[in-house]
Chain A
Amino acid sequence: MPGMSGRFSTVIKAKINRLLDKAEDPGETLDYSYQAQLQNLQNVKKGIADVVTAKKRLQMQAEKLEQNVVKLDTQARQALSAGKEDLARMALERKTIAQTELQSLDTQISELESQQQKLTDSEQRLRQKVEAFRTKKEVIKAQYNAAEAQVRISEAATGVGEEMADVGLAMQRAMDKTEQMRARAGAVEELEAAGTFDDITQLGPGEDDIDRQLRELGQSGQVEDELARMKAELGSGGSAPQGELGEGKAGA
């Protein structure tokens, strides 16, 4: 438009226009746009479903991690009761990692939550515009001859087209975020699989990669504090019988 020299606006408007030009079907009938709009709404719904799926996966991981935190804590207590301080320390180190990972998962879950909300709002807006278009189209068809109606409907379609482009952008951003988190979720699952142990008595004496990584992360301060606290607790509460050291499923 004349006079508008805002560069953000200029860049984005040019892009949207190219997008709309591309989408335009030369053999477009009066009803074609409406079908295309309905199709677009379907796509947005699929997009929302994708985000929800990704979010659920992260939520399940978070639940598992929470269970691991409890389990590792129990294992540390059992190891300590049995006088195996090294094992207790190892379990606490892994617990710390799991807790850190849990925090990061929570952040990602709320990020996806917000993407889901944005997409849902966008879908709602588009749905209303599509409905308005349907009504308008019928009114125009009844009031004008075919040639005039074509022009007017095409104007109305431009308004909806821009809304579709807008939703398309929201989808793109949501999908990018979801993809990043999917990749991350895969990495967490690997860590999760490697980071706990079903039976603490089966742990060998040597350090594995994860233990080395844990140390490099410099979390030993926190771990030592917790170990000391646990020792004090156990000291005042009496020690558990040796025979209970093992599965660690029963809970302390």
Chain B
Amino acid sequence: MIVRIMGEGQYRIDDADRDNLNELDNAAVAAAEGGDETAFLQSFAALVEHVREVGTPLGDDELEGSDVLIPPADITFAEAQHEFTGEGLIPD
């Protein structure tokens, strides 16, 4: 599957890794919703780091839509919270 870290680029990741990604993603969201900034920053960094570690960057000439989209690595806690309460990073 193809994973994009916004503002950074796309990575190709083995489909078998899906559960790991889901878990990391949901942990970050739960922390954002729970208002726990430290936990959010930690779990979100873990998610981004995981993608970079297990993924292979897509070539410049590969034109693929992503299966998974992850917010920018430098997303702030406020932005992350806003993502679930308001318009978020990308307004509707």
Residues of A near any B CB (own CB < 8 A) = 1, 3-9, 11-13, 15-16, 18-19, 118, 122, 125, 128-129, 132-133, 135-136, 155-160, 162, 165-166, 168-170, 172-173
Residue contact B63 to A165, C-beta cutoff 8 Å: no
B90 touches A169 (CB 8 A): yes
Among B29, B61, B64, B65, contact of A7 (Cβ-Cβ < 8 Å): B29
Closest 7 A-B residue pairs measured CB to CB? A6-B25, A159-B63, A128-B60, A132-B61, A15-B90, A12-B69, A7-B29
Q: List 29 A-B contacts (CB under 8 A).
A: A1-B68, A3-B18, A4-B1, A4-B18, A4-B67, A5-B22, A6-B21, A6-B22, A6-B68, A8-B25, A8-B29, A8-B83, A9-B21, A9-B25, A9-B68, A9-B69, A13-B66, A13-B68, A122-B7, A128-B60, A128-B61, A132-B60, A135-B61, A159-B65, A166-B4, A166-B7, A168-B90, A169-B90, A173-B89
- B63 surroundings in chain A (CB, below 8 A): 129, 132-133, 136, 155-160
A16 to B67, CA, bound (A): 11
Q: How many whole Å from A78's CB to the nearest CB in chain B?
A: 46
Q: Please tell me if the beta carbons of B26 and A15 are within 8 angstroms of each other in the complex.
A: no
Q: Would A169 and B6 be within 8 Å (CB), given that A9-B25, A15-B88 are in contact?
A: yes
A165 to B24, CA, bound (A): 24
Query: Which A residues lie within 8 Å of B89 (CB)?
Result: 12, 15, 169, 172-173
List chain A residues, Cβ under 8 A from B83. Answer: 8, 11-12
A-B contact count (CB 8 A): 104
Indicate the member of A4, A6, A125, A132 with the most B CB atoms within 10 Å: A6
Instruction: Find chain A residues with CB under 8 A from B66 CB.
Output: 13, 162
Q: Which residues of A contact B92 (CB under 8 A)?
A: 15, 18
In the complex, which of the residues A3, A7, A166 contacts B6, with contact meaning CB atoms closer than 8 Å? Answer: A166
Across the two chains, which residue of chain A brings its CB closest to B28?
A: A8
Question: Which parts of B16-55 form the interface with A (CB within 8 Å)?
Answer: 18, 21-22, 24-26, 28-29, 47
Which B residue's beta carbon lies closest to that of A135?
B61
Of all chain B residues, the one with the shortest Cβ separation from A118 is B7
Number of residues in B with C-beta < 8 Å to the partner? 33
Known contacts A132-B61, A166-B7, A169-B6; A6 and B88 CB within 8 A of each other: no
| CA–CA, A138 and B11, complex, Å | 26
Min CB gap A219→B, angstroms: 30
Partner of A19, one of B47, B62, B90: B90
Smallest CB gap from A167: residue in B: B7
The A-contacting residues of B in range 53-92, CB under 8 angstroms, are 60-72, 83-84, 88-90, 92
Among residues of A, the one whose C-beta sits closest to the C-beta of B76 is A173
Complexed CA–CA distance, A122 and B10 (Å): 12
Which B residues touch A18, using CB under 8 A?
92
Task: Known A13-B69, A162-B66; judge A4-B6 contact (CB<8 A).
Answer: no
Expressed in whole angstroms, the minimum distance between the Cβ of B46 and any Cβ of chain A is 13
